[in-house]
Amino acid sequence: MKILKAYKYRMYPTGDQKVLINKTFGCCRVLWNRCVELFNQRQDIPSSTIIKSDYEWMSEVSAAALQQKSNDFREFQRQFFNTGRKRRLGSCRFKSKYDRQSYRLPGQKFTLGSSFIRLEKIGKLAIKMDRRPKASAEFRSVTVSKNSDGKFYVSVLVREPHRDLPETGRTLGIDVGLNHFATLSDGTKIANPRFFRESQAELRKAQRRLSRKKKGSVRRKKCKLKVARLHRKTTDQRKHFLHVLSSRLIRDYDRIGIEDLNVAGMLRNRKLAKSISDASWSLFASFLEYKARWSGRTVQRVGRFFPSSKMCNCCGLVKPIALNDRDWICDCGNLIDRDTNAARNIRDEAIRLLAQGVACA
């Protein structure tokens, strides 16, 4: 069986190559904004070739990149009028040059080497490669992007065969929280790193300096770049932590039960919203799900109304419990940590749902 997999690499273009890449970003942005303007005016969307004829300077960049951007807008247009979607798409937005920039090329327009990648109209660019696609991989497309902190990346999409991990015969339940990031059903507690909280003081100082700079000045641009780099550092630290943890759990367990939390509703609590966003429970669940599909594992979501914290894991008694009560004391004599008890209830409920054939992730 073959799966789609993306390999993302840091790219190090030269000065001239940066100019060409930024020109491609700008042309794709102009084409997208032109399509949005016509779409809002209820007019027909022309092809990229027709739009390109109105701007002579668009001939300096890859025509395939413009065509892919046009195809992306047509896909949005198709999904916008798709009545079968669970959630309707909102209005299309114009792209800004101050946000993340990207464009895409098909598989015939790039070549991946040992330490470089060759892009159409750009040439040979140096990349930092820590892993390579398999020799039998089929190259589909490449996405060139630039973050708000000025770093360039390439994401190579391939279709390659995968192999399921050997079975371990073990099932795990995970209860996420704020005091500890996660509590496992075997009693293990994963510490909450709180990356944003650690960098909050430095970020506050940088944002205060940014607010004092004159708009449009060079110093304001430098301060804005520093703030973006601090945010990027926090994001990279968080993703690295979640990737390492999710990979270890997928490798050690066949079936994993997690809570289907209403994170969007929990973020309305103004006292806990920042801590909940810093924990990134939804991102952790998505990492577990797609890695489970790659490895032949099973991730089962447990309903958000399941009383995992209010039910005794031994006798099944359900009773209210205060948030500051960290130990579960039951009438049957069961004395256990509150989060460990919840994790075991999630594990048992996931096993029950899997036995009944309930749809899982």
* pLDDT tens, residue by residue, 7-32: 999 999 999 999 999 999 999 999 99
pLDDT winner (highest mean) among 30-34, 46-50, 290-294: 30-34
Q: Per-residue confidence at 196, pLDDT binned at 50, 70, 90?
A: very high
189, β-bridge pairs: 183
Using the 8-state DSSP alphabet, how is residue 58 labeled? G
Handedness of CA 304, 309, 315, 317 (dihedral sign): negative
pLDDT value, residue 333 = 64
- Choosing from 259, 289, 348, 349, which is the catalytic residue? 259
Give the phi and the psi of residue 343 in degrees, each rounded to 5: -65, -40
**pTM (two decimals):** 0.87
Of 178-187, 241-250, 324-333, minimum mean pLDDT range: 324-333
pLDDT value, residue 94 = 95
- Choosing from 120, 254, 289, 339, which is the catalytic residue? 339
Kindly state the average pLDDT of the residues 103-115.
93
Q: Which residue has the tokens 């500051």?
A: 324
* pLDDT tens, residue by residue, 68-87: 999 999 999 999 998 888 88
Mean pLDDT, the chain, integer: 90
Q: Is 120 among the catalytic positions? A: no
Give the phi and the psi of residue 19 in degrees, each rounded to 5: -65, -45
* pLDDT tens, residue by residue, 300-355: 999 888 888 778 777 777 777 766 666 767 767 666 778 888 898 999 899 999 98
Q: Which residue has the tokens 């809002």?
A: 40
pLDDT value, residue 322 = 66
* pLDDT tens, residue by residue, 150-176: 999 999 999 998 888 999 999 999 999
| Residues ≥6 apart with Cβ < 8 Å to 241 | 193, 195
Q: Per-residue confidence at 37, pLDDT binned at 50, 70, 90?
A: very high
Q: Is 339 among the catalytic positions? A: yes
The whole-angstrom separation of Cα 21 and Cα 197 is: 35
**More confident site: 337 or 117:** 117
pLDDT exceeds cutoff 80 at 263: yes
Instruction: Give the residue from 25, 294, 301, 298 showing the smallest Cα distance to 148.
Output: 25
The whole-angstrom separation of Cα 91 and Cα 344 is: 44
Q: Is 167 among the catalytic positions? A: no
pLDDT exceeds cutoff 60 at 187: yes
pLDDT value, residue 307 = 83
- Choosing from 175, 254, 348, 349, which is the catalytic residue? 175
Q: Per-residue confidence at 91, pLDDT binned at 50, 70, 90?
A: confident
pLDDT exceeds cutoff 60 at 251: yes
Domain ranges across the chain: 2-161, 171-356
Q: Is 155 exposed, middle or buried (0-12, 13-18, 19+ CB in 10 A)?
A: middle
Kindly state the average pLDDT of the residues 79-96.
88
**More confident site: 297 or 326:** 297
pLDDT exceeds cutoff 90 at 211: yes
pLDDT value, residue 311 = 80
pLDDT value, residue 2 = 85
pLDDT value, residue 339 = 85
